[in-house]
């Protein structure tokens, strides 16, 4: 099971370090587990380079067969936990790799408990794990924090409730160092119509897409869609296609920036409202402690000035 868990985590993260963080194991432990599984299979499951990790055909086959099985086992374990009661286990809070560590640390320090004494454990998850979170998800988070794009105060996922704003960050474009906009100090929102933008399909649960179809003045924005579970893939697509990715200005302070450091830059966008960081949790959750915890996170966020440049 530990080999299978390691394989699925690496297959979903396409990064051994992030998979290790997710499983609370060391990268060498995860790597050893994958190699052991490859010896059992008798073939290579991942194509590895110094920059990328990709599934082989055999790896894709195993992922398709094993992910539903592991999800079923996780669901059974979750149901067993619920039958015993959640009061005796820590609360699990998820967050994306695009969250700056100093924000997560502040939230963890100011809000260490959920309800009457349940300690909170913060866990980094893949982007789809949070945006597409539903009753079939193969994790058992109690709450999560995620970024919502400009003009959104709630996530359009019917399974999730959305809490108050924790903080906000101004909009920016992520571009390669060779992009025509790379040397600019800022870009007006109307200029987005002149450039190709990456539109992550991960955000289809939000009522409007991550990248709007038109500028405020009605000019059409050319978009290229990327279907992925990984932020790295969104960034790489933007760099490979000489496109731009609409994001937030505090991204370079997050772990997600490490994969593109030295190859990309951010250009502030004027004329767009900021991105906001908010809490989400299952709609079926009726425990008032969760709602109270979301308010506590929002209160802690006010110490950031409500805004991250």
Tens-digit pLDDT profile for residues 76-98: 766 666 655 555 678 899 999 89
Region label for 2, one of left (φ > 0), alpha (ψ between -120 and 50) or beta (otherwise): alpha
Residue 287's pLDDT is what?
63
Within the chain, which residues score under 70 in pLDDT?
77-88, 136, 138, 202-208, 228-229, 284-287, 305-309
Residue 220's pLDDT is what?
96
Q: Are 126 and 232 in contact (CB under 8 A)?
A: no
Residue 7's pLDDT is what?
92
Measured at the CA of 274, the angle between CA 237 and CA 120, to 5 degrees, comes to: 85
DSSP secondary structure string for all residues of 106-156: HHHHH--EETTTEEEEEEEE-HHHHHT--TT-SS--SEEEEEE-TT-SS--
Residue 226's pLDDT is what?
79
Task: Report the chain's C-alpha Rg in angstroms.
Answer: 20
Nearest to 198 by CA among 168, 230, 156: 230
Residue 297's pLDDT is what?
95
Residue 70's pLDDT is what?
80
Calculate the alpha carbon distances from 21 to 123, 166, 220 in Å.
8, 24, 40
């Amino acid at each position: 099971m530990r080999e299978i868990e390691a394989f699925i985590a690496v297959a979903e993260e396409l990064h051994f370090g992030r998979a290790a963080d997710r499983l609370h194991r060391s990268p060498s432990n995860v790597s050893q587990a994958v190699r052991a599984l490859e010896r059992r299979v008798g073939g290579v499951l991942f194509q590895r380079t110094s920059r990328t990790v990709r599934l082989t055909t055999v790896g894709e086959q195993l992922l398709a067969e094993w992910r539903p099985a592991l999800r079923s086992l996780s669901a059974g374990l979750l149901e067993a936990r619920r039958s015993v009661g959640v009061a005796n286990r820590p609360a699990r809070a998820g967050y994306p790799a695009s969250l700056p560590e100093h924000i997560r640390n502040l939230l963890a320090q100011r809000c260490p408990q959920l309800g009457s004494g349940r300690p909170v454990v913060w866990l980094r998850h893949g982007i789809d794990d949070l945006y597409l979170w539903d009753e079939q998800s193969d994790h058992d988070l109690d709450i999560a924090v995620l970024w919502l794009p400009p003009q959104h105060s709630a996530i359009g996922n019917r399974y999730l409730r959305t809490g108050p704003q924790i903080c906000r960050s101004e909009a920016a474009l992520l571009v390669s160092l060779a992009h025509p906009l790379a040397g600019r100090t800022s870009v007006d929102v109307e200029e987005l119509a002149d450039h190709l933008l990456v539109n992550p399909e991960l955000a289809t649960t939000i009522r409007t897409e991550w990248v709007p179809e038109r500028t405020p003045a009605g000019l059409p924005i050319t978009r290229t869609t990327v279907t992925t579970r990984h932020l790295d893939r969104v960034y790489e697509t933007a760099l490979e296609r000489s496109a731009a990715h609409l994001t937030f200005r505090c991204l370079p302070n997050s772990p997600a920036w490490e994969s593109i450091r030295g190859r990309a830059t951010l250009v502030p966008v004027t004329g767009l409202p900021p991105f906001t960081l908010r809490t989400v949790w299952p709609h079926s959750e009726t425990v008032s402690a969760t709602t109270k915890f979301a308010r506590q996170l929002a209160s802690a966020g006010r110490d950031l000035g409500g805004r991250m440049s």
